[in-house]
Amino acid sequence: EVQLVESGGGLVQPGRSLRLSCATSGFNFAGYAISWVRQAPGKGLECVGFIRSKAFGGTPEYAASVQGRFTISRDDSKSIAYLQMNSLKSQDTAVYYCNRVKWLADPTGLDYWGQGTLVTVAS
C-alpha cells in the first residue's frame, strides 16, 4: 500500500524556519518525483514545488512565492522527502501536503497524497 506521511508542522514565529518531512512506503521512492502542495485555511490548492527523481536529474522546481526561501530535497536511501522552509511569513500558514507525481514521460498528476501537516506562522 502506497503511503505518504508528513510531519514537522506546528506553530512558528515569522522569520523563523521549519523543516517538514514526508516519509513514504509501498513504492519505489527513488523512481518518482515528489511534490509539495499547500492549502491555506479555507482556500484553494497551491503548488509549492517538486523534486524530480534522480533518473530525471533530481532537480527541484519552486513556485515564485517560495523561491529562495524554501528548499526541497530527498533521501532515496530512506524514502523521505523534505521541505525546508526559511524566512517564514504569515502567508505561509497552510496545510502542507506531499504527493507522489504520476510520471508518464512527463508529469501528469499527483496520484497519492499524504494526510497533510499544518504550519501556522504567527507571533
Partner 1 sequence: DIQMTQSPSSLSASVGDRVTITCRASQGISNLLAWYQQKPGKAPKLLIYRTSTLESGVPSRFSGSGSGTDYTLTISSLLPEDFATYYCQHFYTYPFTFGPGTKVDI
Helix (H/G/I), strand (E/B), else coil: 56:
helix
- Minimum CB separation of residue 17 from partner 1 in Å reads 23
The CA distance from 2 to 88, in Å, is 31
Of the pair 8, 107, the CB lying nearest partner 1 is at 107
**Shortest Å, Cβ 5 to partner 1:** 12
* Smallest separation (angstroms) from partner 1 to the CB of 13: 27
Cα separation, 9 vs 20, in Å, equals: 6
Binding site for partner 1 (CB under 8 A): 35, 44-47, 50, 61, 63-64, 97, 102, 104, 106-111, 113-116
CA angle, residues 115, 99, 26, in degrees to nearest 5: 85
Nearer to partner 1, 28 or 115 (CB): 115
CB of 6 to partner 1, least distance (A): 10
Residue with Cβ nearer partner 1 (14 or 111): 111
Instruction: Please identify, using beta-carbon distances, which residue of 16 and 56 lies nearer to partner 1.
Output: 56
Starting at the edge strand found earlier in the chain, the sheet holding 3-7 runs 3-7, 18-25, 80-85, 70-75
Task: Name the amino acid, one letter, at 25.
Answer: S
* DSSP annotation of 92: G
